[in-house]
Amino acid sequence: MAQKTAESIQCTDRLGSSTVNHVIIEFVMYCGRAVFICYPVYLLGYLGINISWVLLCVFMLTYWKKNRQWKVARITSAIELVDNEKRAIKTELRSALPMASWVQFSDVEKVHWLNKVLKQAWPFFGTYMEKLLRENIQQSIRFSSPSLKTFTFTKIHFGRIPLKITGIRAYTHEVEHREVILDMNISYDGDVDIRADVNSAMTAGVKGVKLHGMMRVILEPLIGQTPLVGGVTFFFIRRPTLKINWTGMTNLLSSPAFSSLSDETIMNIIASFIVLPNRMCIPLIDQVKMEQMRFPLPRGVVRVHLLEARDLLAMDTYVMGLVKGKSDPYATLRVGNIHFKSKTVKKNLHPRWNEVYEFVVHEAPGQELEVGLYDEDVDKDDFLGSYNLDLGEVKSEKQMDQWFPLEDVPHGEVHLKLQWFSLQTDTSLLQESNDDFACAILAVYLDNATDLPNSDHQRFRKNSKEAQITKRATFPNSFVEFSIDSNVQKSKVVYASKDPVWEEGFTFFVRDVNVQQLFVQVKEPEKKNPLGVLNLLLSRLLNTSDLTLDEYFLLEHSGANSQIKLKATLRILKLEEPPPKTFINPSSEVKQQQARKAGNTSVSSPSDAPSSSHTVSSNNTPGPSTPNQETASPNQGYLAQGRGSFQASKKRKSSANVRRFTSHSLLSQNSITSSSFDPSDEFLFPDAIRNHRGSFGEIELNVRYVTLKHKLIVFIIRCRNLFPCSENGTDSYVRLYLLPDQTWKHRKKTHVKKRMINPVFNEKFEFDVLLQEAQNRKLDVSVKNNSILVSLERKDIGSVIIDLSEMDLVKGVTAWYDLTLPEMRNSM
């Protein structure tokens, strides 16, 4: 007993006072909630009040709460409609109707002519599919199981409703010159009718199929002779959505208990054939190698660090939803047909996972990282939000470490760190992994096998010669199992063939090339003894040309001439570093401000610019000079909407001094940074700022344009050396405008970072604007002090205007910008 007491005391000391205090506070809060809930029930029983009154009160309170939420939702929708009518209508239409992709994306084209061709050719497509199902699929089903030997299709009709292509996007400039990539949005809601007799007592069938997804078609290589294209490859980048209406005995699969299970099973089968990394290929000339079309080398590898989430929804509630609890969140990550699930963090709205996952990327841009957050429950997990990230952004950025807002929920963010690894053949880059991460990948293309032993070879190998002669040999049903340590992958089954052809590709992560080996087994379904085995040391690939082996390998424990043809390719992973960050030299902007003060509106000479190749200027190309442009216009500017009345209340200011800005003047170089005040407004600044003669600080931004989403992305990274507005630092936030839009509904701002002079924001903002339009706009960035007290003093700490026409928005720019107050500089 004394020993246990001593251990408990030692354990308590190990916990620490802060942990003990936290546990005590949680326990007290739990007891308080229990008393708060149970005491009214006890009081009602003590007073002898009927329990029906309690139920009535709870019902009325619940009804009031739901009604209140409904009213708030209506008011919010109305406000959103007033603020941005176009976006609100588009969102409602998108949620209510299956909008065509060409409505949502300007670079997606309508293809009415192609749909007319499909409608005309649909009956002939049905004839082809009927022949395929009866001659190929029916035989494969019969060979798959002894209980399906009598399986027969009795009716095959693909209906009159053809497949529709709702939009098509062509890539020609973003790809190699010898290929063309087409993304086709497919929608099929057909009246297909297929019936089959499983056996004499069971029938099965399908009547109606819905399929929606985006299929990528690659035409490569382009050649200088007929048919101009060497081959056609098509596949789904992401898993399509599928809904099947079953008939016959399989009608049970349409019930709510089995519908999701059955559709998911069928979807997995489809994904094994036509969802990345699996492809369907049609060679059009003999010179095209099938393995290069069906299984090209991946584009790279992305390593995803699932770090944490914050501000998640509280889905666990008590007392009929009156008392909110927390959630038990976990995350799912999917790229194509590969998906992972994280651990579950119990009762936490700010969970930390710190888990790492690796994905092989075959198409970038195109493939997306799909992150979903769920609350784990006993019956059905609740949805907490999702976010899809195009891996083309990771490929261009090389490394990303930021918070991503969760979609389809009111609030919530997830913190991800992503790293892009390119594939190299330089063995000097090979390093042994010490942190259980991959240092290389192995791509294996399984072609075929020849002269496999008969199905009864293993069984009767030790029997008498007479028994071998009398026993009729059958060709084996075979598949191949690959394994590297605990990573096991299997091919499809080829039925009744001693020379099976698979034509499938597999990828493996390698952690130690010198030690690990690829173990290959040719097996029969539901049988233990393999038809042949092969051990391939990965270190053997280091001494080959292009780190590739492409040959026939003899199988061990098999027939005398049994061989398997493999192509094994090793590639070394190299972590790509992000492009070097550029820094702003503030001297150029100061010189321009002084030049404008003197009335000089010409462009600064190249000699004034800094000589370093790593510096960019935020204002190097002034727009047209408009110093006298003060005529009235319908758009009275930001001052008239936001600060007109405020400025008019200042007795020491004359209303004649207030400047009115049009869209043209706001985009010109003569516009004042971050506000529309007259330069004489320096008296509105606090005395500390007006008396300050040094730097007001710097801000680091990342600005890029995502062509696939048609959005301008501005990532506020951090600030440094901000002007301290108090002894404890500065309560700062960043405000953005994409000029000339300076109304309240166009304003974007970060969260407030309290008591810091080097705040880190890591917040992303998106602007819906076309690339051509974004290249003619300017970004107004202002760092402000979040003053709680109502004051007439200006809240600006510093600001900068960034001319987007001087940037390569597609590649993106990350740079430090010097914060200035032109109003103060002009008055000095």
Mean pLDDT, to the nearest integer, of 189-200?
A: 85
Q: What is the mean pLDDT of the chain?
A: 75
Query: What is the C-alpha separation between 329 and 312, in angstroms, rounded?
Result: 9
Q: What is the pLDDT of residue 687?
A: 55
Half-sphere exposure of 51 (CA within 13 A, CB side): 2
Instruction: Assign 600 a pLDDT band (cuts: 50, 70, 90).
Output: very low
Instruction: Assign 823 a pLDDT band (cuts: 50, 70, 90).
Output: low
Q: Is the CB of residue 539 less than 8 Å from the CB of residue 440?
A: no
Q: What is the pLDDT of residue 428?
A: 86
Same domain, 197 and 340: no
Q: What is the pLDDT of residue 89?
A: 65
| Cα–Cα separations (whole angstroms), residue 262 to 8, 133, 372, 434, 597 | 53, 20, 22, 42, 73
Where is the domain boundary, 575, 599, 618? 575
* Contacts of residue 85, Cβ cutoff 8 Å, sequence gap at least 6: none
Same domain, 272 and 342: no
Mean pLDDT, to the nearest integer, of 475-480?
A: 89
Q: What is the pLDDT of residue 609?
A: 33
Instruction: Assign 151 a pLDDT band (cuts: 50, 70, 90).
Output: confident
- Beta strands 501-510; 440-450: pairing state: antiparallel
pLDDT of 234 > 60? The answer is yes
Q: What is the share, in percent, of the chain residues with pLDDT greater than 70?
A: 71
Same domain, 741 and 814: yes
pLDDT of 319 > 70? The answer is no
Highest-pLDDT range among 79-93, 649-663, 702-716: 702-716
Instruction: Assign 721 a pLDDT band (cuts: 50, 70, 90).
Output: confident
Instruction: Assign 252 a pLDDT band (cuts: 50, 70, 90).
Output: low
pTM over 0.85, yes/no: no
pLDDT of 696 > 90? The answer is no
Q: What is the pLDDT of residue 654?
A: 36
Mean pLDDT, to the nearest integer, of 717-726?
A: 81
pLDDT of 171 > 90? The answer is no
Query: What is the C-alpha separation between 281 and 294, in angstroms, rounded?
Result: 6
Least confident residue range of 116-120, 306-310, 447-451, 772-776: 772-776
Domain assignment present for residue 368? The answer is yes
Q: Is the CB of residue 518 less than 8 Å from the CB of residue 480?
A: no
Highest-pLDDT range among 189-198, 335-344, 414-423: 414-423
pLDDT of 658 > 60? The answer is no
pLDDT of 474 > 50? The answer is yes
Highest-pLDDT range among 363-377, 692-706, 726-740: 363-377
Phi, then psi, of 270 in degrees rounded to 5: -65, -40
Q: To 10 degrees, what angle do helices 17-47 and 2-15 make?
A: 100
Q: What is the pLDDT of residue 822?
A: 60
Domain assignment present for residue 431? The answer is no
The radius of gyration computed from the CA coordinates of the chain, to the nearest angstrom, equals: 34
Instruction: Assign 789 a pLDDT band (cuts: 50, 70, 90).
Output: very low
Domain assignment present for residue 253? The answer is yes
Q: What is the pLDDT of residue 458?
A: 46
Least confident residue range of 129-138, 150-159, 234-243, 622-631: 622-631
pLDDT of 93 > 80? The answer is no
Listed in sequence order, the DSSP H helices in 425-584 are 465-470
Domain assignment present for residue 678? The answer is no
Q: What is the pLDDT of residue 373?
A: 94
Same domain, 219 and 152: yes
Q: What is the pLDDT of residue 356?
A: 93
Query: What is the C-alpha separation between 623 and 608, in angstroms, rounded?
Result: 18
Q: What is the pLDDT of residue 291?
A: 73
Least confident residue range of 100-114, 299-313, 418-432, 692-706: 100-114
Residue 280, Cβ density class (10 Å: 0-12 exposed, 13-18 middle, ≥19 buried): middle
Instruction: Assign 605 a pLDDT band (cuts: 50, 70, 90).
Output: very low
Q: What is the pLDDT of residue 363?
A: 83
Same domain, 699 and 783: yes
pLDDT of 116 > 60? The answer is yes
Q: What is the pLDDT of residue 683?
A: 43
Top pLDDT among 259 and 543 is at: 543
Instruction: Assign 250 a pLDDT band (cuts: 50, 70, 90).
Output: low
Q: Is the CB of residue 684 less than 8 Å from the CB of residue 793?
A: yes
Top pLDDT among 276 and 128 is at: 128
Same domain, 777 and 808: yes
Q: What is the pLDDT of residue 341?
A: 93
Residue 787, helix vs strand vs coil: coil
Same domain, 480 and 420: no
Instruction: Assign 53 a pLDDT band (cuts: 50, 70, 90).
Output: confident
Domains: count for the chain: 4
Domain assignment present for residue 588? The answer is no
Mean pLDDT, to the nearest integer, of 754-765?
A: 83
Mean pLDDT, to the nearest integer, of 114-128?
A: 90
Same domain, 200 and 267: yes
Domain assignment present for residue 125? The answer is yes
CATH code assigned at 500: 2.60.40.150
Instruction: Assign 608 a pLDDT band (cuts: 50, 70, 90).
Output: very low
Q: What is the pLDDT of residue 21?
A: 73
Of 427, 421, 307, the closest CA to residue 361 belongs to: 421
Q: What is the share, in percent, of the chain residues with pLDDT greater than 90?
A: 16
Where is the domain boundary, 546, 575, 604? 575
Q: What is the pLDDT of residue 455?
A: 62
Where is the domain boundary, 517, 544, 575? 575
Q: What is the pLDDT of residue 381?
A: 86
Top pLDDT among 535 and 794 is at: 535
pLDDT of 747 > 90? The answer is no
Same domain, 546 and 695: no
Mean pLDDT, to the nearest integer, of 403-414?
A: 89
Instruction: Assign 94 a pLDDT band (cuts: 50, 70, 90).
Output: low
pLDDT of 149 > 90? The answer is no
Mean pLDDT, to the nearest integer, of 9-27?
A: 62
Q: What is the pLDDT of residue 333?
A: 95
Instruction: Assign 96 a pLDDT band (cuts: 50, 70, 90).
Output: low
Instruction: Assign 468 a pLDDT band (cuts: 50, 70, 90).
Output: very low
DSSP 622-637: -----TT-----S--H
pLDDT of 6 > 70? The answer is no
Domain assignment present for residue 493? The answer is yes
Domain assignment present for residue 677? The answer is no
Mean pLDDT, to the nearest integer, of 266-286?
A: 77
Structure tokens at 618: 């935020």
Domain membership of residue 251 as a residue range: 112-286
Instruction: Assign 255 a pLDDT band (cuts: 50, 70, 90).
Output: low
Same domain, 273 and 307: no
pLDDT of 507 > 80? The answer is yes
What does the pLDDT look like over 513-559, one tens digit per residue? 988 999 999 998 878 888 999 999 999 999 888 899 999 999 998 88
Q: Is the CB of residue 564 less than 8 Å from the CB of residue 555?
A: yes
Q: Is the CB of residue 371 less than 8 Å from the CB of residue 381?
A: no
Same domain, 250 and 326: no
Same domain, 789 and 715: yes
pLDDT of 8 > 50? The answer is no
Instruction: Assign 304 a pLDDT band (cuts: 50, 70, 90).
Output: very high
Q: To 10 degrees, what angle do helices 51-83 and 85-96 make?
A: 120
Cite the beta strand spans of 108-255 per DSSP E.
Answer: 152-157, 164-171, 180-199, 202-219, 231-236, 241-248
